[in-house]
Amino acid sequence: MGGCSIAHECATVRLNVRNNKNPYTAFLVNTNDIDLRKLSERSNTEKFILRGYERGAGRNIQIGEDAFNKYKDEIGKRVIDFFEDRDYLFVVCGLGGGTGTGAVIEAVRMVHSNGFAGRCGLILTLPRDQEGFQVLDNALQRLQIIAKAMRGLGSILLVDNQKLFEEYLRTHSGGSASSFLEHSNRYIAQMLHELNIVTITYNPISGYHFDGSELLKMLRTPGIFTFGKCTLEENGIDANNRGTYIPRLKRSIEDGVLSEGYDFTDSTRCAISMVASLNGARRIFTLGMVAAVEKQLVSYAPFAAERPVAVYADENARCLNIYTIFAGLGLPRRIAQMVELVSLYERPEVRSDTTLQALSGYRSQLRRDEMDLDSLLLDDKSVKQKPKREKSDPFDF
């Protein structure tokens, strides 16, 4: 339910616009009927139960993949109807479980073959360390495949639940597990929404405007997509003193919003949008201040093809918000940490004791022929031919 919960939360976002109150739509697919019923019914969401698998996938990747493939054609037809007018589509999945983790590869294939190639990406949540070997192993299995196909996909946004949990624990140590999940889903949806509306809401006050078409270009850029947000009190900013804003900007980039640990020199595209109040914008956004921010961006992504810095004035703003975006990145250090953690789960050698020695020395008195079970069960009829893949299939390797 990681993917469904995030997508549903995005669909709850509302605008104060007469004919566009719900700017996002969500198509929710799951095996567990009870879990899916917990999410409220909305006109801009549709639920699809994978019948026959209502008890869930039990963290079994193969069951999740089989369940999705059984209904793949039907889901594909509904996705076309439901998302035909959308600019961009995210396949959202919580890595580590059975349904989403098992279905994600076939789900990407399905949207690619139904007209969304070039305008779809992934939002993947990474499990926490404490979730155990099976969950971490499931996530890494899928990440292996996705990493190989990454250059044939759109942007991939990683949500590190370990990072979000530790940050939530520092400020809400008395909270519950359910409150953390609700907070995280709401936080993810709100940050994605902010990133989107900054391109269409505010008035640019310089020669450059980072608009929706350029955000869409970044979302279509293969590789990992990450962003940061820095909020500063306008009264504390001295445009002629870079120490009042550059250190905080750097921390927001390196800490990220949803994940961290990236080599930003890999970035192929990046951008910064700064939004301040009307009075604050006139005072803060001097030529020297903008040049200092541009210089900092170059130091992070010296090989990026595009590095725009745009500034805006918002009559309702009460502080300075700086949004940073990097696209085309490689995988973060967190993935290597997960691999190392899984290796620690390997069972240590069992202690040798007298009972074990006696047991290991036991030999059955009944003579049995050794049999290769796989050879006995293998049948030419059971060898399935690999289905033909579309030429645009990003996983054809």
pLDDT in 10s for each residue of the chain, 397 residues: 789 999 999 999 998 877 778 899 999 999 888 888 899 999 999 999 999 887 777 888 999 999 999 999 999 999 999 999 999 999 999 999 888 999 999 999 999 989 899 899 999 999 999 998 899 999 999 999 999 888 888 999 999 999 999 999 998 888 888 899 899 999 999 999 999 988 888 878 877 788 889 999 999 999 999 999 999 999 999 999 999 999 999 999 999 999 999 999 999 999 999 999 999 999 999 999 999 999 999 999 999 999 999 999 998 899 999 999 999 999 999 999 999 998 887 655 544 566 656 655 656 555 444 444 444 445 554 445 555 655 667 777 6
**Residue-level pLDDT at 328:** 96
Residue ranges, CATH 3.30.1330.190, the chain? 204-329
Are the C-beta atoms of 346 and 256 separated by less than 8 Å? no
- CATH 3.30.70.270 assigned to domain 2-153? The reply is no
**Residue-level pLDDT at 390:** 59
**Residue-level pLDDT at 55:** 77
Distance CA 47, CA 29 (A): 6
Taking the CA of residue 301 as centre, how many other CA atoms within 13 Å lie in the half-sphere pointing to its CB?
27
CATH of region 204-329: 3.30.1330.190
Q: What is the pTM of this model?
A: 0.85
Joined together, the tokens standing for residue 180 give 């953390």
Segments of the chain assigned E as strands: 26-30, 45-49, 89-94, 120-126, 155-160, 203-204, 223-232, 269-276, 309-313, 320-329
Joined together, the tokens standing for residue 164 give 């979000």
